[in-house]
Amino acid sequence: MTASATRCDAPLTTIPAVRAATIRDGEVLVDDHADPEPGSGEILVRVRAAGLNGADMLQRRGRYPAPPGSPPDIPGLELAGEVIARGPGAERFAEGDRVMAVVGGGGQAELCVVHERGVMPVPEALDWPHAGGTPEVFATADDALFSQAGLEPGERLLVHGAAGGVGTAAVQLGRAAGARVTATVRREEARAEVERLGAQAALDPEGFEEHGPFDVVLELVGAPNFPANLKALETGGRIVVIGVGGGSKLEEFNLLGLLGKRARIMGSTLRARPLEEKALVTRRVERRVLSLLQSGSVEVPVAETFPLDRVGEAYDHFEAGGKLGKVVLELG
């Protein structure tokens, strides 16, 4: 048994009792951890499902440590479950409420403590696996498209890496906002499904710049796309970088092209943001996304689910690629 706690935003030391996905020497296994208790303004969640994300894969390899206050060895950036206890001053949710949240880490555990300001209700239309795969991808996509890039109805949006969790969320949110969405998808067999989700065209990444110009480019792949991104950008366009799995360093970049198009390049992550900023992102998702999920206007494609006891297999399946949508752990 370890001394680590399973709360999401600060350490606790009580009786070890809770099973959680645990990173040990580059592998992910199941181990026991300290039973958490909610503090002021916090709720204790019985986790029913937790999505896997690229950050979890990087953390397993030691390349993306958890932010201060989150458990260093328990991965998991998103969760869904039931409120089973409330700390002092926590009044927004009642015991038994179905909730979901983006967390700094620790989401892949049977129990998790979260500040109530970072939590949102689960729409009735979502079962646990779909709810567990919702918070991180839709919060990331919503923040990048609207809070960062200021996407407007009628604009042309290009989503790179559109078959993944954030990519499928961005395609749907762009469509729902009235944008004209184009997507790049490397696997030919996944393109029809991405078009079903709302892309007017799902393209092979090679030569995508010929299909521009685009007002907003959502970059989920990284450096290899950048020269063509700038070529494909409309004057006054915006590029938002939220993923660099394909590479993070550019050998050469023509700044004159950036100047000539009066373009903006921005980057964004959610994990390490302070509670105040995460709370703002959560409230925006509540206003802009939850009703779309409830009505079925947007959805969470779930590629496969795994029980906690098969967490290592779940991670390997995620890293193998070749999927459309989310890989989700079910914890009961």
CA-to-CA distance for 248 and 160, rounded, in angstroms? Answer: 15
Has residue 96 been placed in a domain? yes
pLDDT digits (tens, 9 = 90+) for 200-229: 999 999 999 999 999 999 999 988 999 999
Question: Residue 12 — very low, low, confident or very high, per pLDDT cuts 50/70/90?
Answer: very low
Average pLDDT over residues 263-277: 92
Has residue 42 been placed in a domain? yes
Average pLDDT over residues 270-280: 92
Instruction: Tell me: do 144 and 27 sit in the same domain.
Output: no
**Percent with pLDDT over 70 in the chain:** 95
Task: Supply the range of the domain harboring residue 49.
Answer: 16-134+286-330
Instruction: Tell me: do 211 and 246 sit in the same domain.
Output: yes
pLDDT digits (tens, 9 = 90+) for 43-64: 999 999 999 999 999 999 999 9
Domains identified in the chain, total number: 2
Has residue 277 been placed in a domain? no
Range with the poorest average pLDDT among 96-100, 178-182, 253-257: 253-257
Instruction: Tell me: do 248 and 319 sit in the same domain.
Output: no
CA-to-CA distance for 88 and 110, rounded, in angstroms? Answer: 22
> To the nearest 5 percent, what fractions of the chain are helix, strand and coil?
30, 30, 40
Average pLDDT over the chain reads 93
Range with the poorest average pLDDT among 79-83, 116-120, 257-261: 257-261
Has residue 43 been placed in a domain? yes
Has residue 274 been placed in a domain? no
Question: Residue 272 — very low, low, confident or very high, per pLDDT cuts 50/70/90?
Answer: confident
Type of residue at 206 = E
Instruction: Tell me: do 256 and 292 sit in the same domain.
Output: no
pLDDT at 26 over 80: yes
Instruction: Tell me: do 190 and 254 sit in the same domain.
Output: yes
pLDDT digits (tens, 9 = 90+) for 63-89: 999 998 889 999 999 999 999 999 999
pLDDT at 2 over 80: no
Residue 4: per-residue pLDDT? 42
CATH number for 155: 3.40.50.720
Domain boundary at 223, 238, 267, which? Answer: 267
Instruction: Tell me: do 151 and 260 sit in the same domain.
Output: yes
Type of residue at 27 = E
The pTM (predicted TM-score) of the whole model is 0.92
Instruction: Tell me: do 58 and 145 sit in the same domain.
Output: no
